[in-house]
Amino acid sequence: MPITTAYETRIDHVSILDEDGVFDETLGQGVIPEDQLSAIMEHLVFCRQLDETAFKLQRSGRMGTYPQNTGQEMPSLAAALAIDKADWLVTCYRENTGLFWHGLPPECILLHWMGDERGNHIPAGVNATPIAIPIGTQMLHAAGLAWAEKAKKTGAIAVTFFGDGATSEGDFHEAANFAASLKLPVVFCCQNNGWAISVPSSVQSAGETFAQRGISYGMPCVRADGNDLFAMTKVMKDAVARARAGEGPTFIEAVTYRLRDHTTADDARRYRDAGELEAWEARDPLPRLQRWMEAKGLWDKSQHEKALKSGEKRVAEIISNAEGIAAPNRSEFFDHMYADLPASLKRQRDSKRTTSLGQFPEDLA
Amino acid sequence: MAQVKQPADKSHFILPDLGEGVHEAELIKWRVSAGDQVAEHQTLAEMETDKALVEVPSPWAGVVTELCGAEGDIINVGSVLVRYGESTGHPPASPASDQAQATESSASEEREDAGTVVGSMNNDGDAPSALTRRRTEAEEVPTEQARALATPAVRGIAKQLGVDINRVLGTGRGGRVTASDVERFAQESATTEPPSNQPSRNRITVADIPEHTSAPSNLPTDATAGREPILPPVPVDPSGTTEVIPFRGVRRKIAEALDRSVKTAVHFTVVDEADITDLDRKRKEYSAITGRKLSFLPFVIRAVAHGLREHPALNAVVDEAKSEIHRKGNLNLGIAVDSDAGLMVPVLHNAEKLAIVEAAEGVARLAAGCRDRSIPREELTGSSFTISNVGSYGGRFATPVINHPEVAILAVGRGYEKVLAKDGRIYAGLSLPMSLSCDHRVVDGAEGARFLNTVKRLLEDPTALLG
């Protein structure tokens, strides 16, 4: 028998509004209604102000730690634009724009990073999970949520976000295999910002793209310019439509860049080239969208000034709200993990003792 | 690290943890001056932690009245960075503000140690406050050229009074020059004509030490330096002797060095044990990651390096001929090695800069060099502190003899499993015995104990040790 081709594939890269401001009218047609764009721009301005201010809150001791979102605003916002209120956002920690658009009060994110667990209490009616710090856990949660929605036949779907580094975790492969095999209504979105903290993509993976990691599980894979709101929204909408139609998961690789440090405990200058940062600053997604909207007459300088002013005011209010919440007391430590606290933990809480050897002498008798 | 609590009245800003688990930061550059009105989030200073160069913003709007630190200072998390107030004029220049900063909170705990010292410690020039973890090189080795440590406010006063601040003896935190130091200096200069060659500001002369302090009597003097006991040899009965070994070679060198040490240095030994249960886990993790078996020694080296940075008095050599104590900026660490020929002490240069694995490799290389006699001479001289890892042969405590002309030596015993207790809880843990000998002429009991405490604390907290 001769050698035949068992499988062949390709990865598409989608770009609509490119870094030179060129807009692809065919692909971009109707992706985002024009009358929605000024609200989106105001939202982006506010989110970036909050992001930069949160960084300063950490530096002045008002917040424990904080991972800045600046530069990576578009992928999660695109998801929030593409899904319905009943759909799930299952994120890690660089998806503030999408979470806030989906209805999460920004105070929750500030509280979380101020070390108050109550920041993870998502208000009823907001279908989002607490932000996931351990790398990769949330992809399994998303598959599980999608499975539940499928079983309940609600028609709701889940979109999950993770970084390029997370695709090296076993959790990703388990979630991807599970979701694809069971045709679960879930979208996997990898924010490839080029760096798993200080590990560059080239060290992280020998593959040419991260998108191709989804191929082996039998799901469609696509790559998009993660700094292009239109491209991201288009691929999200396609993926959401597939999920809702019962066709199973899609893997999206959003090619983007974190313009700041990994977290406030990091100094990216120690491992990233200054030239690389400069090149990506030129691709900053916010000015790109702003310039295009101004050229189209959908936004102007005075609107921008107004957005900055109201954004600043809103940021101050949110900080004051978050800081105004009384600190939790010690026993609340036990309150947020279990609906019904196991007996051993109840005993710890009530006795203020651990169950280590010797702490409960009566047990040793 | 727990977040620091800022004062509700916004009177001062306490340096927070600038990363995750950051304990201190070097003040690189002030971006405001005393008297400046600052806005919320406005950058106050650029500081460098072990992780990053960061800008520290003001948590609120206000008028900065005092900058608590000079560029180049190491500021500990929890210390006051700036003070705020209403006045826009000159900042409060009273020494109280400097002192308050130094003695706030934990300073009183430090004082409790004074009970173990001979005499009383009322000149704490050698005892860094609990809030000053590291000193700059300039502080460790004061020289004529050293730039005085002082706040800009104090510098302003010195300028007004026409005083060269670099000539003033600092009595504040870490040898910092306070406003009253400057004023006192100005008054003294006015009554007595300043000599052309003023002693360096940090060099304490005998006149500076109160009479009831016992320390100076132990300082080397012409009478004690190089004293040579003249004793008649004791006759030996050769009956029953099975072997006569000429007392020479390396054995003779060892004997001479130790003889000189015990006849010169005034030895005292302090012992303690560190709970290394957690460290043992870390050690095993490190071993697994690096794929090489690591002993506790490189971790002890790291703890000693940190400890000596906090207690520079122990990282020194005595020049008997000139009656001088030379404090060292770098740690050139002697490692006692048992070779076929006997004890040798090769030197791990700049041990404070070595990662755990580098230290382990360095020690292994030196030991191999001693055993096969290939070690170059440069690697056998120039140490300023020595570790003797007696535990690798057995035994817990020792009374180690100082590697003259150093002033301290740490003997590390064998780690052993024992029942330990913490927070009212008993558990089976691993304990590391340590014995520190110091030259009492140079190092007081309290300082030796503090250094040993620091080493113990670090060994018991691998996060702090390795962070």
* Contact call for B3 and A358, based on CB within 8 A: no
Helix, coil or strand: residue A156: coil
* Annotated catalytic residue A258: yes
Nearest-CB residue to B52 (from A60, A267, A354): A267
**Which amino acid makes up residue A193?**
N
Upper half-sphere CA count for residue B188 (Cβ side, 13 Å): 13
Record the tokens describing residue B382, joined without a space. Answer: 């120039």
Find the closest chain A residue to B46 by CA distance: A59
As a whole number of angstroms, the distance between CA B327 and CA B307 comes to: 14
Of the candidates A271, A291, A336, A338, the residue annotated as catalytic is: A271
The CATH code that applies to domain B107-208 is 4.10.320.10
As a whole number of angstroms, the distance between CA A44 and CA A232 comes to: 15
As a whole number of angstroms, the distance between CA B393 and CA B343 comes to: 13
**A302 lies within 8 A of chain B by CB:** no
Q: What is the mean pLDDT of chain B?
A: 78
Q: How far is B249 from chain A (nearest CA, A)?
A: 52
As a whole number of angstroms, the distance between CA B354 and CA B340 comes to: 28
Overall number of domains in chain A:
2
* Contact call for B59 and A62, based on CB within 8 A: yes
Give chain A positions within 8 Å (CB) of B16. 59-62
Residues A296 and A353 in one domain: no
**A357 lies within 8 A of chain B by CB:** yes
What is the secondary structure of B244-274 as a DSSP string? -----THHHHHHHHHHHHHHHS-EEEEEEEE
Residues A297 and A358 in one domain: no
Nearest-CB residue to B20 (from A60, A265, A269): A265
Of the candidates A213, A262, A272, A288, the residue annotated as catalytic is: A262
The CATH number of the domain holding residue A224 is 3.40.50.970
The burial class, CB within 10 Å (0-12 / 13-18 / 19+), for B219 is middle
Residues A358 and A211 in one domain: no
State the count of interchain CB pairs (< 8 A) between A and B.
66
**A364 lies within 8 A of chain B by CB:** no
Residues A231 and A343 in one domain: no
Helix, coil or strand: residue B321: coil
Record the tokens describing residue A343, joined without a space. Answer: 């007996």
Tell me the CA end-to-end span of chain B in Å, nearest whole number.
Answer: 12
Task: Read off the pLDDT of residues B289-324 as tens digits, 9 standing for 90 and up.
Answer: 888 889 999 999 999 999 999 999 999 999 988 889
Q: What is the pLDDT of residue A359?
A: 59
Phi and psi torsions of B446, nearest 5°: -65, -40
Q: How far is A287 from chain B (nearest CA, A)?
A: 24
As a whole number of angstroms, the distance between CA A110 and CA A122 comes to: 13
What is the secondary structure of A21-49 as a DSSP string? --B-HHHHTTSS-GGGHHHHHHHHHHHHH
As a whole number of angstroms, the distance between CA A61 and CA B58 comes to: 10
Q: What is the pLDDT of residue A179?
A: 98
Helix, coil or strand: residue A59: helix
Nearest-CB residue to B57 (from A59, A263, A266): A59
Q: How far is A83 from chain B (nearest CA, A)?
A: 36
Upper half-sphere CA count for residue B413 (Cβ side, 13 Å): 21
What is the secondary structure of A187-247 as a DSSP string? EEEEEE-SEETTEEHHHH-SSS-SGGGGGGGT--EEEEETT-HHHHHHHHHHHHHHHHTT-
Q: What is the pLDDT of residue B101?
A: 42
Nearest-CB residue to A357 (from B15, B58, B427): B427
Upper half-sphere CA count for residue B311 (Cβ side, 13 Å): 24
* Contact call for A263 and B20, based on CB within 8 A: yes
Q: Is residue B205 over pLDDT 80?
A: no
- Cα radius of gyration (chain B): 25
Q: Is residue A17 in a domain?
A: yes
Q: Is residue B210 over pLDDT 70?
A: no
Residue to substitute from A50, A57, A60, interface B, most B β-carbons within 10 A:
A60
Residues A350 and A324 in one domain: no
For residue B159, the cross-strand partners are none
Q: Could you list the residue range(s) of the whole structural domain that residue A116 is in?
A: 12-328
Give chain A positions within 8 Å (CB) of B82. none
Q: Is residue B414 over pLDDT 60?
A: yes
For residue B327, the cross-strand partners are B316
Record the tokens describing residue A194, joined without a space. Answer: 């080029």
Consecutive H or E run containing B81:
strand B80-85
Distances (CA, A) of B220 to A217, A293, B226, B320, B322: 79, 81, 10, 7, 9
Give chain B positions within 8 Å (CB) of A324. none
Q: How far is B292 from chain A (nearest CA, A)?
A: 24
Q: What is the pLDDT of residue B467?
A: 74
Record the tokens describing residue B399, joined without a space. Answer: 């009374």
* Annotated catalytic residue B440: yes
* Contact call for A60 and B52, based on CB within 8 A: no
Mean pLDDT of each 10-residue bin along chain A, 365 residues long: 90 96 95 97 98 95 95 98 98 98 97 92 96 94 98 97 96 97 98 96 92 95 98 98 97 98 90 94 97 96 97 97 89 84 86 65 56
Residues A286 and A350 in one domain: no
Beta-sheet pairing, B425-439 with B408-412? antiparallel
Phi and psi torsions of A212, nearest 5°: -65, -10
As a whole number of angstroms, the distance between CA A69 and CA B214 comes to: 61
Residues A268 and A357 in one domain: no
The burial class, CB within 10 Å (0-12 / 13-18 / 19+), for A301 is exposed
Residues A132 and A74 in one domain: yes
Q: What is the pLDDT of residue A217?
A: 96
As a whole number of angstroms, the distance between CA B111 and CA B175 comes to: 17
* Contact call for A60 and B17, based on CB within 8 A: no
Q: Is residue A148 in a domain?
A: yes
Entry field: residues in chain A = 365
Q: Is residue A124 in a domain?
A: yes
Name the nearest CA neighbour of A82 among A40, A21, A129: A40
Q: What is the pLDDT of residue B364?
A: 92
The burial class, CB within 10 Å (0-12 / 13-18 / 19+), for A364 is exposed
Residues A218 and A360 in one domain: no
The burial class, CB within 10 Å (0-12 / 13-18 / 19+), for B400 is buried
Residues A104 and A53 in one domain: yes
Find the closest chain B residue to A67 by CA distance: B19
**Which amino acid makes up residue B451?**
F
CB B465 within 8 A of CB B459: yes
As a whole number of angstroms, the distance between CA B385 and CA B369 comes to: 20
* Contact call for A359 and B425, based on CB within 8 A: yes
Residues A268 and A342 in one domain: no
Beta-sheet pairing, B385-388 with B408-412? parallel
Q: Is residue B11 over pLDDT 60?
A: yes
Q: What is the pLDDT of residue B187?
A: 77
Task: Read off the pLDDT of residues B117-157 as tens digits, 9 standing for 90 and up.
Answer: 232 333 333 333 333 333 333 343 334 445 777 777 788 88
Looking at domain B250-466, what is its CATH homologous superfamily?
A: Chloramphenicol acetyltransferase-like domain (3.30.559.10)
* Eight-class DSSP state of B349: T
Q: What is the pLDDT of residue B340?
A: 74
**A320 lies within 8 A of chain B by CB:** no
Q: Which residues of B sit within 8 Å Cβ distance of A?
A: 3-4, 6, 13-22, 41, 51-59, 424-427
As a whole number of angstroms, the distance between CA A305 and CA A309 comes to: 6
Report the pLDDT averaged over residues B354-380. Answer: 87
Give chain B positions within 8 Å (CB) of A266. 19, 51-52
Phi and psi torsions of A158, nearest 5°: -130, 140
The CATH code that applies to domain B12-92 is 2.40.50.100
Record the tokens describing residue B25, joined without a space. Answer: 């930061």
Q: How far is B51 from chain A (nearest CA, A)?
A: 6
Residues A217 and A106 in one domain: yes
Q: What is the largest CA-CA distance in chain B?
A: 91
Q: How far is B8 from chain A (nearest CA, A)?
A: 13
Q: What is the pLDDT of residue B297?
A: 93
Find the closest chain A residue to B78 by CA distance: A61
CB B402 within 8 A of CB B425: no
Q: Is residue B218 over pLDDT 50?
A: no
Q: Is residue A278 in a domain?
A: yes
Find the closest chain B residue to A264 by CA distance: B19
Q: Is residue A2 in a domain?
A: no
- Which residue has better confidence, A223 or B3? A223
Report the pLDDT averaged over residues B417-446. Answer: 94
Give chain B positions within 8 Å (CB) of A62. 6, 16, 59
**A116 lies within 8 A of chain B by CB:** no
CB B130 within 8 A of CB B201: no
Label residues B227-244 b or e (16+ Cβ within 10 Å = b).
eeeeeeeeeeeeeeeeee
Domain ranges of chain B: 12-92, 107-208, 250-466
Task: Read off the pLDDT of residues B169-202 as tens digits, 9 standing for 90 and up.
Answer: 777 766 778 888 888 788 777 665 444 444 333 4
Lay out the sheet containing B12-14: strands in order across.
B12-14, B80-85, B62-67, B37-38
Give chain A positions within 8 Å (CB) of B58. 60
